[in-house]
Amino acid sequence: MALTIARVGAKLAIGGGALYYTLDKGVWSTNTDASKLIDEVQNAVLEDTKAYIRTMPSPNETSEKLKGYWNSNVESGFRVVANAPEVVTAKTTEYSKKAVAEIAKSLKP
């Protein structure tokens, strides 16, 4: 019961807070107030966005890096496949020797 009341109270507080904030900022007022709010948001948010976009690499640079990463990963994949027989043989030999040693150790009285 108390948990339900707390949940409902939290939801009402969030909704009321959102309504108060939008009323305070002028979202529900006249067109001129809403235009001012839009200008404020654009100035605040878009400036940060523009600054971030300036730090991003160009599309051509990104494309070249992507091609390089792709080729590197393809080469790595083929290298793994090419080395697989040697790795499998080495690991099989290693584990076989360990198994024989453990069996011999367990058979000793």
d(CA 36, CA 21): 15
Q: Is residue 88 part of a domain?
A: no
d(CA 26, CA 98): 76
d(CA 36, CA 76): 56
Number of domains in the chain: 1
Digit-coded pLDDT (tens) for 13-43: 999 998 888 888 777 777 777 778 777 877 7
pLDDT of residue 95: 93
Digit-coded pLDDT (tens) for 43-94: 777 777 777 878 888 889 999 999 999 999 999 999 999 999 998 999 999 9
Q: Is residue 19 part of a domain?
A: yes
Query: DSSP code of 46?
Result: I
pLDDT of residue 11: 92
Q: Is residue 52 part of a domain?
A: yes
pLDDT of residue 70: 95
Query: DSSP code of 27?
Result: T
* 9: containing domain: 1-56
Q: Is residue 4 part of a domain?
A: yes
Can you read off the two tokens belonging to residue 8? 């409902």
d(CA 18, CA 25): 11
Q: Is residue 71 part of a domain?
A: no
Q: Is residue 30 part of a domain?
A: yes
Tokens 């523009």 label which residue?
50
> Residue 96 — pLDDT band, cuts 50, 70, 90?
very high
Q: Is residue 100 part of a domain?
A: no
pLDDT of residue 40: 80
Handedness of CA 92, 97, 102, 103 (dihedral sign): positive
pLDDT of residue 53: 77
Residue type, position 71, single letter = N
Helix (H) or strand (E) holding 6: helix 2-25
